Chain A
Amino acid sequence: MNTLMQTVENSQLRSDLPEFRVGSTIRVNYRIVEGEKERIQAFEGVVIRKHRGNQNNKASFTVRKTSQGHGVERIFPLHSPRIESIKILKVGLVRRAKLYYLRNRRGKAARIAEKITHRPKS
């Protein structure tokens, strides 16, 4: 790619957000502007898709949660200034890059095994 293009695109990237992977359960704190007021709305769910990787200014990710029995999916631009913060709650153990199969499952079947990371004995 053209170097000028790269400087423009790289200037849009954010490095302050934690890296997370597909299958993880995360909480996205998203700034919402309502008229004059601005507030932060949290969206908590499983990352089922990451689009265009990490180091791309057009990258996005999809978070899925079940709200009152209905599946809700929300797509966030990864480098959007509107994302206040991202918190990783659980790291999931998955073998797919896109977890679209979760859409056809509900209840217990829609769970994802948690990745147990080795913790040194204290």
Chain B
Amino acid sequence: MLNGMLGRKIGMTQIFEEDGTAVPVTVVQVGPVTVIQKKTEEQDGYNSIQVGFEDRNPRKINKPLTGHFKDQKPMTVLREFSADDITQVEVGQVFNTSIFEEGDKIAVTGTSKGKGFAGTMKRHNFGGQPASHGHRGHRRTGSIGQCATPARVFKGKKMPGQYGNATVTVLGLKVAKILPDQNVILVKGAIPGRNGGIVTLKKSSR
């Protein structure tokens, strides 16, 4: 069986539980996804299910991809989910929100919002230097090491650089509510990425 789904982040809001507790939720439009390819141990060295999400204009895909989709409708996003047992799944089979249940623990993967080239205060939560009393450093990194010993900067030293726009997985999220008619899942808490971004929801034990 398929252990995950593709979706689009819509945005955040809040819902009330029956006892009146307000729960912060992220609205995710999830699936339906179509199985495009089954990868098998014999042929590919591992078992997995490749699914496609959201239809795409058939005129806009190139010839190699047209061959890949064969009898299936062309899809915008393709992603693989590892699976131990792929005998139950057929190419062309459609999955929707029904693979999840309310209360399920899930892990959500997405591309975080890009922050560009960021300094150490934003990127690594450094403290920076005092704002006044003759200090001239303010938001600078400060010292990056000692002198003659070790006479070099250690590998992995936290420094300024590209921040965000990276693949981020958040574990331990919970399915708060499922709206099967709208193909919508409400995830408790925040998930990575911008509104409208592609996210992967996977069943998780953590």
Contact = CB atoms under 8 A, between A and B. Distances in A.
Interface of A: 2, 4-5, 7-9, 12, 31, 33, 57-58, 77, 79-82
B74 to A, nearest CB: 24
A7 B184 CA distance: 10
Contacts of B93: none
Interface of B: 10-11, 13-16, 18-20, 22, 27, 29, 179, 182, 184, 186
B16 A8 contact: no
Given A2-B11, A5-B27, A8-B179, 10 more contacts: A2-B10, A4-B29, A4-B182, A5-B11, A8-B27, A12-B14, A12-B16, A31-B20, A57-B13, A82-B19
Contact of A8 (B19, B20, B22, B186): B186
Contacts, number: 44
A80 B27 contact: no
A8 B27 CA distance: 8
Given A80-B22, A81-B18, A82-B20, A8 B29 contact: no
B6 to A, nearest CB: 16
A33 B17 CA distance: 14
A69 B132 CA distance: 45
Interface of B is mostly: strand
Nearest to B196: A2
Contacts of A5: 10-11, 13, 27
B13 to A, nearest CB: 5
B184 A4 contact: yes
Nearest to B181: A7
Nearest to A1: B11
Contact of A12 (B15, B18, B19, B179): B15
Contacts of B14: 12, 57-58
A81 B16 contact: yes
A33 B186 contact: no
Nearest to A82: B20
Given A81-B18, A82-B20, A7 B13 contact: no
Contacts of B16: 12, 77, 79-81
A7 B186 CA distance: 12
Given A12-B16, A80-B20, A81-B18, A7 B182 contact: yes
Nearest to A58: B14
Contacts of A82: 19-20
A57 B186 CA distance: 15
Contacts of B11: 2, 5
Contact of B15 (A2, A4, A8): A8
